[in-house]
Amino acid sequence: MMSEELDKQISDYLDGKMTDSDLRVFEEKLSKDAHLAEEVNDFKALDEGLQAVGMEKFRLAVKEWEQDINIAHPPLVTWKKYLAVAAVIALILVPAIYLLTGQQANSEELFLAYYEPYDELITSRGNSVDSLNMLLADGMEAYNLGAYQKCSDLLVSYLQQQPEAHRVALYLAIAQLELNQKEMAEANFIRAQEDPVFKQQAQWYQALSYLKFSEKEKAMVMLRSIVNSKNHYRKNEASRLLRELG
């Protein structure tokens, strides 16, 4: 597959623009292809990096640039290339406030600065009326609505019936994190790392959960592990957090 075509597919996947049939094929490929999973993580990290520093308008503008240029020269410029440039800007800006004031951010402040719930990427978009798929869909709908207690109840039930669905544990853990259920969240972040596609996300959110609950040393151990990983999608953010934690 040409790189431009792959970039376009990943962009459409993350933006929810794929048809149901294309989505099923792509998700099947994603579950088996570690390189593709890494590419998706790269896109996701760049996109989230812009949002994390309040650059949503700039992020949307970049996508408009891509659309305009693709009209004239479809094969030459991709969304990923523009995001890569924008990400450099994001890395320069965060966390400027602490550099300018000389203040040391505490764990909770750093958690709030870096945390946002992970986007929902797993719900089946087919027309199946299977009760188990409906349970998952209802749980993820609650997640998207911020109804975290309902989400937790539904996903716990789902995982009791589908214990190998490790990626679902990531969303359950984030819901439990939002509910301040420290031990349960940690257990499910660890469980989610059994899924190779979602392992890096689970590691990142586990590190953030330690910050939320002021477990600085545990957070630093996890962040160092991320920094030492060869291609972790949050390597740069983890490195910054380590510096900020001192």
Burial string for 119-135 (b: 16+ CB within 10 Å, else e) reads: eebbbbeeeeeeeeeeb
Number of domains comprising the chain: 2
For the chain, give the mean pLDDT. 79
28 inside domain? yes
Same domain, yes or no, for 148 and 58? Answer: no
- The Cα–Cα gap between 39 and 160 comes to 31
Tell whether 21 and 80 lie within a shared domain.
yes
Q: Cis ω on the peptide bond leading into residue 95 (within 30° of 0)?
A: yes
The dihedral built from the CA positions of residue 95, 146, 56 and 64, taken in this order, carries a sign that is positive
Q: What is the pLDDT of residues 168-184, one digit of tens each?
A: 999 999 999 999 999 99
Rounded Cα distance between 150 and 40, Å, is 29
pLDDT computed for residue 97 by the predictor: 44
pLDDT at 160 over 90: yes
What would the pLDDT profile of 102-138 be if each residue is shown by its tens digit?
455 678 888 988 999 999 888 755 555 688 989 999 9
The predicted-structure confidence for 107-116, as pLDDT tens digits, reads as follows 888 898 899 9
106 lies in some domain: no
184 and 79 in a common domain = no
> Same structural domain for residues 116 and 45?
no
Residue 188 lies in a domain: yes
Q: Are residues 29 and 84 in the same domain?
A: yes
CATH code for the domain in which residue 204 is found: 1.25.40.10
User: CA torsion sign, 207 to 210 to 214 to 218?
Assistant: negative
Domain that holds residue 240: 111-245
Residue 101 lies in a domain: no
Contact in structure between 123 and 136 (CB atoms under 8 Å): yes
| pTM, entire model | 0.60
Residues 206 and 176 sit within 8 Å (Cβ to Cβ): no
By the 8 A CB rule, do 111 and 208 touch? yes
